[in-house]
């Protein structure tokens, strides 16, 4: 659908996206780099963020993000679409004309319902108490207008009757999440509640939230269920009104409830959106991500429950940090890709709504002074560890080490490590040791490789061959480095399956068990290790062998994924019209995995080449 392509192009920043694979430098309005499609020494490849396209002036390759991934990753059109849709958080629906018509009607139905709710608030019969309630909460008429607030009268079937009158069916109302079926027939889902329309980034109503105004009405909030228009975990409330401010400030603030966001906007803090429930989902984060921002500040409520659960909720954000390694603020294309996570806890007994009304300046400064997620969590651990006692220090050390091991960026990890050590007087070497142990721990010793092929032990039966020569160079290089620096094993994201050579596989498995001595290896493996060790070149000008290994291993991973992708594609072609569903899915998964792995290589490489590039900023 053309609409999908446009939405995706709008959401995915082409400079950040291509910059993940091709180091780019700004040159006026465009960005330049070495063309990935032909080999060259001076950059003739350029990316134009405004036109959302790229062009190589030497080989004349050109196109948009779609053609880029199609060519780079050898994907077909629909694969490229699916991959980019996932990245953009766009849910693809294969729309036949009648589906399109159905969706259009659903959108009109939502607008109709919005009109009904807004009338409800204005109605002298029904809306009085709701209006009074909003006034008590300090909502100005402009705010009520801007956010389209409404009221669902305390009627069993008020909306139902209205929708029917406007030509919609009960079934459509149910699909839209506005009507329900019960013992007594179809009825309104929202009754006697304040209504907050939830809009997509373009300001179209896709769902509603309803808040009770009475203490005896439970639950306090009800939402539309997920519908064809509404995916709760990918939606940020108020993004349509906050968008411009988020872009211009390069930062977004995440609060929990609609009214928190509304109150913040009314207080003039315009870059606030609400996550509607959880702290922040991965999909929500990616949405913000594609707005090219640098900071995401999550504000936790200061009520007793919020205070108590702040640490746990901070920990819930850790996977986001791991998945999307935060390294914002470096100003480099390619690494600027990911926004850093910050956390702030509001003062005792306050939620953002209260604070925005009572003391907006305070809210502003709390947002500005938010701690990075790791700092925040380290602080929490410190608060509850008795650092004066040895036991407390040990516990602190253990917990912090585990936390630091979650930081995917080795450089940032090192920075945190020194800071924590400095602040607590803990020996940095001791802390580093613990971190290394934590890094190694979660990687369970792998069992036999999953490949359906031979198990590594079987290779003992094979004659000692010049097989080594046929081993792909890249995997020899990685393993040679690992034999020289076995202590770096924990940093290597490799599975035995990623290696073709059975001996190297067995060697990797051995190293991953944590046994770093090479003396007790079976004879053949010992010989392999010795050969590798002899052939090993140093990691070149790379100062840190660990980083060299990391990059080499990632490259190998990319290569392996490419091979598998090609293999599965060939299989897919062979099977033809048969049962291809699973194969097609595998192709898609591999393609996605490949892109992630490539992005990781690119980020690592850019990170290390960072100093030269920064001079050009």
**Residues in touch with Zn ion (CB under 5 A):** 35, 37-38, 56, 58-59
What are the structure tokens assigned to 493, written together? 């994201």
Considering the complex, what minimum distance in angstroms separates the CB of residue 316 from Zn ion? 44
Residue 42 CB, nearest distance to Zn ion (Å)?
11
Helical pair 545-575 and 410-424, crossing angle rounded to 10 deg: 140
Q: Which is nearer to Zn ion, 73 or 200 (CB)?
A: 73
Cβ-contact 320, 271 below 8 angstroms: no
Nearer to Zn ion, 35 or 321 (CB): 35
Structure-token match 């569903």, residue found: 581
Q: How far is the CB of 37 from Zn ion (least distance, A)?
A: 5
Instruction: Yes or no: say if 263 and 196 are a contact pair by the CB < 8 Å rule.
Output: no
Residue with Cβ nearer Zn ion (53 or 212): 53
Q: Which residues contact 95 (CB under 8 A, 6 or more apart)?
A: 1, 103
Please identify, using beta-carbon distances, which residue of 68 and 477 lies nearer to Zn ion. 68
Least distance from C-beta 36 to Zn ion, angstroms? 8
Rounded to 10°, the helix 373-384/390-405 angle is 160
**Nearest C-alpha neighbor of 131 from the set 31, 399, 122, 247:** 122
Q: Which residue, chain included where needed, has tokens 């009304």? A: 357
What is the C-alpha separation between 257 and 351, in angstroms, rounded?
A: 9
Q: Which is nearer to Zn ion, 60 or 101 (CB)?
A: 60
Q: Would you say 24 and 32 are in contact if contact means Cβ atoms under 8 Å apart?
A: yes
Return the number of other C-beta atoms located less than 10 Å from residue 37's C-beta. Answer: 17
Contact 195, 117 (CB under 8 A): yes
- Pick the closer one to Zn ion by CB: 14 or 508: 14
Q: How far is the CB of 554 from Zn ion (least distance, A)?
A: 24
Residue among 33 and 302 whose Cβ is closer to Zn ion: 33
Q: CB 566 → Zn ion: shortest distance, Å?
A: 23
Collect all residues with Cβ–Cβ distance below 8 Å to 105 and sequence separation of at least 6: 168, 172
Considering the complex, state which of residue 61 and residue 283 has its C-beta at the smaller distance from Zn ion: 61
CA distance 605 to 587: 27
Give the shortest CB-141-to-Zn ion separation in angstroms: 58
Task: Please say whether the beta carbons of 235 and 241 come within 8 A.
Answer: no
Cβ atoms of 232 and 275 closer than 8 Å: no
Minimal distance in Å, beta carbon 510 to Zn ion? 44
User: Residue 437 Cβ, how far from Zn ion at the closest point, in Å?
Assistant: 47
Identify which of residues 72 and 270 has a Cβ nearer to Zn ion in the complex.
72
The contacts found for 569-575 with CB under 8 angstroms, 24 or more apart, are none
């Amino acid at each position: 659908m053309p609409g999908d392509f446009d939405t995706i192009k709008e959401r995915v920043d082409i400079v950040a996206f291509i910059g993940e694979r091709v180091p780019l430098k700004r040159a006026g309005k465009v960005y330049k780099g070495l063309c990935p499609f032909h080999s060259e020494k001076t950059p003739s490849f350029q990316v134009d963020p405004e036109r959302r396209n790229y062009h190589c002036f030497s080989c004349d390759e050109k196109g948009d993000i779609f053609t880029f991934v199609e060519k780079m990753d050898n994907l077909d059109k629909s694969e490229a679409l699916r991959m980019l849709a996932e990245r953009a958080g766009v849910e693809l629906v294969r729309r036949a004309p009648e589906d399109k018509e159905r969706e259009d009607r659903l959108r009109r139905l939502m607008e109709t319902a919005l009109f009904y709710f807004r009338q409800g608030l204005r109605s002298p019969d029904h809306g009085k108490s709701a209006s009074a309630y909003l006034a008590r909460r300090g909502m100005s008429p402009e705010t009520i207008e801007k956010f389209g607030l409404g009221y669902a009268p305390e009627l069993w079937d008020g909306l139902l009757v209205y929708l029917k009158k406007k030509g919609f069916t009960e079934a459509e109302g149910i699909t839209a999440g506005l009507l329900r079926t019960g013992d007594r027939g179809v009825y309104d889902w929202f009754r006697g509640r304040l209504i907050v329309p939830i809009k997509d980034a373009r300001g179209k109503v896709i769902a509603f939230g309803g808040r009770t105004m009475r203490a005896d009405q439970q639950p306090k909030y009800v939402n539309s269920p997920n519908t064809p228009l509404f995916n709760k975990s990918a939606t940020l409330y108020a993004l349509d009104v906050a968008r411009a401010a988020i872009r211009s400030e390069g930062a977004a603030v995440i609060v929990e409830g609609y009214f928190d966001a509304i109150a913040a906007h009314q207080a003039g803090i315009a870059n606030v959106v609400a996550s509607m429930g959880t702290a922040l989902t991965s999909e929500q984060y990616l949405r913000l991500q594609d707005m090219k921002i640098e900071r995401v500040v999550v504000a936790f409520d200061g009520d007793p429950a919020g205070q108590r659960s702040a640490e746990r909720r901070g920990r819930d954000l850790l996977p986001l940090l791991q998945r999307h390694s935060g390294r914002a603020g470096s100003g480099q294309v390619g690494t600027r890709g990911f926004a850093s996570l910050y956390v702030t806890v509001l003062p005792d007994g306050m939620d953002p709504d209260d604070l925005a009304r009572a003391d907006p300046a305070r809210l502003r400064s709390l947002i500005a002074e938010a701690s990075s997620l790791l700092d925040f969590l380290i602080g929490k651990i410190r608060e509850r560890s008795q650092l004066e006692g040895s036991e407390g220090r040990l516990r602190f050390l253990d917990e912090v080490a585990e936390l630091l091991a979650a930081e995917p960026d080795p450089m940032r990890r090192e920075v945190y490590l020194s800071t924590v050590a400095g602040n607590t007087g803990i020996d940095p070497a001791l802390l580093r040791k613990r971190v290394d142990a934590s890094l190694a721990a979660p990687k369970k010793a792998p069992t036999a490789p999953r490949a359906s092929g031979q198990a590594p032990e079987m290779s003992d039966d094979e004659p000692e061959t010049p097989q080594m020569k046929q081993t792909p160079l890249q995997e020899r290089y990685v393993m040679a480095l690992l034999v020289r620096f076995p202590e770096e094993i924990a940093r290597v994201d490799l599975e035995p399956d990623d290696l073709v050579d059975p001996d190297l596989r067995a060697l990797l498995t051995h190293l991953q068990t944590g046994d770093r001595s090479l003396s007790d290896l079976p004879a053949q493996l010992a010989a392999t290790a010795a050969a590798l060790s002899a052939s090993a070149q140093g990691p070149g000008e790379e100062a840190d062998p660990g980083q060299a290994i990391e990059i080499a291993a990632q490259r190998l991973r990319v290569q392996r994924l490419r091979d598998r992708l090609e293999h599965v594609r060939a299989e897919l072609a062979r099977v033809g019209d048969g049962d291809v569903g699973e194969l097609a899915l595998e192709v898609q998964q591999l393609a996605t995995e490949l892109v992630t792995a490539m992005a990781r290589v690119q980020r690592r490489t850019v990170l290390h080449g960072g100093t030269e590039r920064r001079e050009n900023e």
